[in-house]
């Protein structure tokens, strides 16, 4: 799938739409999800134009990969979920119901999170 430069996270990266920033480094940005699914719900995105993890894993440089993974860890620390634990998740494509076509890792925490996967709704 070709990258859509008008997706909402591309606009956040360009500063066209505001976000509640938690952490930033040369290769990644982390901000609070607009529609939180847990007491703490943060998104970590690479600054490069990657649609999903498949694209990122194939195309990103080693420095981008290191920066992105480092950002996940630093963001978890910044929001205070490392002691009690947290969940990371990345929806990729239609079966996972990925809504925004720019790679993003969700960080959930701040409460017990239940089972890893719920039965499908339909
Ligand atoms: P996914 O289904 O994995 O593609 O999740 C997309 C997430 O992005 C969803 O949890 C809501 C969040 N989101 C959508 N638009 C915005 C926005 O404009 N700002 C922020 N902070 N989050 C957004």
pLDDT tens digit sequence for 82-99: 999 999 999 999 999 999
To the nearest whole number, what is the mean pLDDT of the chain?
Answer: 96
pLDDT in tens, 2-16: 999 999 999 999 999
Q: Is 19 in the pocket of ligand 1 (CB under 6 A)?
A: yes
Q: Is 97 in the pocket of ligand 1 (CB under 6 A)?
A: yes
Q: Is 91 in the pocket of ligand 1 (CB under 6 A)?
A: yes
Catalytic residues: 104
**pLDDT category, 121, cuts 50, 70, 90?**
confident
Atom of ligand 1 nearest to the CA of 8: 18
Distance 84 CA to ligand 1 centre (A): 24
Atom of ligand 1 nearest to the CA of 20: 21
pLDDT in tens, 31-49: 999 999 999 999 999 999 9
Distance 83 CA to ligand 1 centre (A): 26
d(CA 24, CA 68): 10
Q: Is 98 in the pocket of ligand 1 (CB under 6 A)?
A: yes
């Amino acid at each position: 799938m070709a990258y859509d430069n008008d997706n909402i996270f591309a606009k956040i990266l360009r500063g066209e739409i505001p976000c509640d920033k938690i952490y930033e480094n040369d290769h990644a940005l982390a901000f609070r999800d607009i529609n939180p699914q847990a007491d703490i719900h943060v998104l970590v995105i690479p600054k490069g134009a990657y649609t999903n993890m498949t694209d990122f894993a194939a195309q990103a440089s080693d420095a981008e990969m290191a920066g992105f993974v480092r950002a996940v860890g630093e963001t978890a620390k910044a929001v205070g979920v490392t002691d009690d634990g947290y969940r990371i998740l990345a929806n990729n494509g239609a079966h996972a119901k990925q809504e925004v076509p720019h790679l993003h890792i969700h960080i959930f925490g701040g409460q017990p999170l239940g089972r890893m996967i719920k039965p499908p709704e339909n």
